Each structure stands twice: as structure tokens, then as C-alpha cells.
Amino acid sequence: MMISRIRHESGYSTDGSDSGSDFFLPDSLEEKLQTTEPDFGILFDVDGVLARGTNPLDPAVKALKLLQDEEGNLKVPVAFVTNACNRSEDKARQISKWFNMQVSPDMVIHAPTPAKLLTEFHDKHVLVIGQEHRRDIALDIGFKKVCTIEDIQKAYPFLDMVDHDNRKRVANGSYRDDLSFPPVEAILMIGEPKLWESNLQLLIDLLLTEGKPTKAPSSIMGVRQLPIIACNMDLVFMDRACMPRFGHGSFLLCLESLYKKITGRELDYTALIGKPCEITYRYAEHCIADVAQKLGIQNPIKKLYFIGDNPSVDIVGANLYHRFLRRQSECIDNEEIMNHLPRSRSIPNNNALYQQTVLAMESLLVGTGVYKPEEDDSSDDDVDVYHGHRDIENEPELAKPSKFVKDVYHGIQHILEKENFSVNT
């Protein structure tokens, strides 16, 4: 189900039925809401925009100061949206240290964070794929029965034969399957794992046996595929190397290829989460509304700005969400809205979300990360290769930002000038 449109007590509707795509405010409320209060929020990608690896960028240090008053108080609601996979409290602490400002864990949205909305899976026995803190992260976002690939290896010691050390180990010992180990009911992929070959082998085993790999299926065609929630589809990401590095999207591509080669069928994703999927930007809007409330801002947030460094991820995502907002305002009923998104990218109806008030999203692209402006001057003979996920149609227009700025400092300057907003007014 999609999020329903809600009429607010202030007298306006997010479906634009009162005045097209504009909000209608009674005169008394219009007078009450002063222009010294922002009605916009800013979303920041982290890697390539605010930092490279663990090192903050100088323009970012200056940029964040533009959003604080002389006492260091934040005056514009912001949130940090990254496709990385860390514990939110750790990233919040890191960003706070970088910029000498208070950042709470609720202001940080990692790739798996919006899975908080997927409550139908929270009570299932879920295998979580990733690296450090993966169990803690899954528990933190609401999953209650979590296992890891190491648990699968221990329960079914004869599966991992691509690990030659394990092959020797089980050959010389008295190992057997743990028949009491509960079937895996869903797979939560929050980030690329270590030892890809072992993870790929065991994931395929679980997918072919409906989560209980103790007996080979009599027919692959009759196997019901387990639900897969995949977080972060980035093919590559930018760190301190001279070229982008493999991301979780690369691991997903390997899994998709193996599954199709073995079964002849496409791997089916129950949910795709993380940029550029709409659910992440909807959750980010929720976070901005929460920050605005804590800052004492009474204006409804009408507009979001997203500052990113990756055209095929950050910018495509922001433009997809802008399209979603536009279509939502034009739709007559929720069923029509839902038909605009494929199932793997649908947004669940969740009462924990703040009411939706944003009408538009603009994207700003910086040149301090994955995107290199000089690449636009390359030869016409170069072939553009689509790095996006299979379930997101390749639409080159979506990778074009509202504006290009050389760094995040110039991006914040642009936003404040466009909004005619000063933190010290």
C-alpha cells in the first residue's frame, strides 16, 4: 500500500486539491508563519560530498557553518543520507566531530534504515548479509529474529565447499546438519559481505530450498523464492582511491547472474531500499519533519534539496522522488499512486511516518566525489554505460541535476540565496 494523502488541520491538503500544486493557508495562519522560519530542508550525501573516507572536506566544514547561527544552533532542518552501512549512533558521532555540531542518530539515514517501515518482516527469521555490526543494525531497525552467514555455515557445514579450508575440516571431523536450525524466512542484504564466493554459494542454496538447505529440491521450478530486501544498489562508491570501488550493487549483480544462470528465472526483489529508491527519500522527508519539529519550526516543509556526488544514484533518486511527488499531487486515489511504482520500490503505509507535506525536491550535484566535471568533455566516441539497478529503468534525463556546483559550500550558498533565507535574520 502507498501512503495516503492526509488533510491537515491547518486547512491545506498535500494532494493539491485546494490550489493546484500550491498550499492554501488561511490569512491568519499566513500572517503567523514568518519568513524567518524555513519551509525547506536539506539532505546531504556523505561520502564524496561531506567527506572522503574518514576525512571531512574543507568546503563541507564551511558549508555547515552557513546553516548555524552565531551560537552554533542549527537553523535549517538537515539530515544525512548515505548508502553506507553503519550504526547510526556511530555515524552521528563522526559527523558531529567533523563539523562541531550536534547530530543525533535520528538525523542519519543509512541504506537499511528505511527497513524500519517493513514491519511485516520484523518477526520473521531473517538472514542478514553484510559486514561489521550487521546483526546490531538489523536489530536496531526492528528485526527480532536474526541470523548471519556464519550461523548458516555452522548449521549446515557441508554447504561451503568453495572454502577449501572448510572442505578439509569437515572431511576430518564428525559433522552433521543441525536439523533444529529454523528455516530462513527472508533475506536482508544490508551491504557487501566478506568472502563473496561463500556468501553467494550459501545464498543460492537457501533460495533453492526455501530457506532449509537439508534436501535438494525435486524441481527448481516449484521452489518459492524467499523474500529479499536489498539495501544499497550502488555499483561503485568513491573512497580515497583514484577510481571508484565495487559497491553492494556489484555483489547483487553477481547474485542475480548466478540465480538466473541456475534457475533460468530473474531474481525477484521484495523491496529495494537505499538511494535511488523512493522509499529512502520518503523516509528522509519524515526525518526532516522530525528535525524541524525539534528545532521549533512551525512552517510545514514544502521543499527538499538533495546534495550528492553520484548522478546515477543521488541525482536519479532525487528526481525520481520529485516525479513521485508530482504524480501524487495529480492522482485521484491511492490505487492510482501505487501503480506508478513497481512492487520492489513501493512505499509501505506506516503510521509512524510524519504527514507528507513536501511538494518538490531539487538536486544539486557536486564535483568532489564520483562525478568528475571534466568527463563531460570526453570524446563523443565514448559509450555511456548504465550503472543503475535492473529494477530502475535507465532514463538518462533523471541523472541531470537541477544545478551543478563545484562543492557543497557553493551548494548551500545557492540554496540560501534561492530561498532568500538567512540564519541570523
Cα separation of 32 and 40, whole Å? 17
Q: For residue 28, what pLDDT is reported? A: 42
Question: Residue range 305-325: average pLDDT?
Answer: 95
Q: Which range among 20-34, 200-214, 320-334 shows the weakest confidence by mean pLDDT?
A: 20-34
Question: Residue range 398-417: average pLDDT?
Answer: 97
Q: For residue 367, what pLDDT is reported? A: 94
Alpha helices in 295-394 (DSSP H): 316-330, 334-338
Find out whether 238 and 370 touch, Cβ atoms under 8 Å: yes
Question: With 60 as the cut, is the pLDDT of residue 5 above it?
Answer: no
Percent pLDDT > 70 in the chain is 87
Question: Residue range 359-371: average pLDDT?
Answer: 94
Q: For residue 244, what pLDDT is reported? A: 81
Q: For residue 283, what pLDDT is reported? A: 97
Question: Residue range 301-315: average pLDDT?
Answer: 95
- Number of Cα atoms under 13 Å in the Cβ half of residue 120: 10
CA 121 vs CA 215, 270, 286, 306: distances in Å:
25, 11, 21, 30
Question: With 50 as the cut, is the pLDDT of residue 11 above it?
Answer: no
Looking at per-residue pLDDT, the higher value among 362 and 168 belongs to 362
Q: For residue 333, what pLDDT is reported? A: 57
Question: With 50 as the cut, is the pLDDT of residue 10 above it?
Answer: no
What are the phi and psi torsion angles at 69 (to 5°)?
A: -80, -175
Looking at per-residue pLDDT, the higher value among 260 and 381 belongs to 260
**What does pTM read for this prediction?**
0.86
Cα separation of 75 and 121, whole Å? 37
Q: For residue 366, what pLDDT is reported? A: 97
Q: Which amino acid is at 206?
A: L
Domains of the chain, each with CATH number or no CATH: 27-65+74-111+276-353+372-394+408-419 (3.40.50.1000), 114-273 (3.40.50.1000)
Residue-by-residue DSSP string for 371-396: --GGGGGS-TTSPP---S-TTS---G
Q: For residue 26, what pLDDT is reported? A: 44
pLDDT digit string, tens, across residues 82-97: 998 889 999 999 999 9
Question: With 70 as the cut, is the pLDDT of residue 184 above it?
Answer: yes
Query: Which three cell numbers, joined as nine digits, stand for 384?
Result: 555511456
Question: Residue range 37-45: average pLDDT?
Answer: 97
Residue-by-residue DSSP string for 218-286: S-GGGPPPPPEEEE---SEE--SSSS-EE-HHHHHHHHHHHHHHHHSSPPPPSEEESTTSHHHHHHHHH
Question: Residue range 67-76: average pLDDT?
Answer: 94
Question: With 50 as the cut, is the pLDDT of residue 205 above it?
Answer: yes
Question: With 70 as the cut, is the pLDDT of residue 219 above it?
Answer: yes
Question: Residue range 8-20: average pLDDT?
Answer: 34
pLDDT digit string, tens, across residues 322-360: 999 998 887 755 555 555 788 999 999 888 899 999 999
Query: Which three cell numbers, joined as nine digits, stand for 71?
Result: 551560537
> What's CA 341's distance to the chain center, in Å?
16
With residues binned 3-state (H G I as helix, E B as strand, rest as coil), the percentages for the chain, rounded to 5, are 35, 15, 50
Question: Residue range 389-407: average pLDDT?
Answer: 95
Q: For residue 425, what pLDDT is reported? A: 66
Mean pLDDT score of the chain: 88
pLDDT digit string, tens, across residues 221-246: 889 999 999 999 988 877 778 888 89
DSSP state at residue 324: H
Cα separation of 62 and 77, whole Å? 17
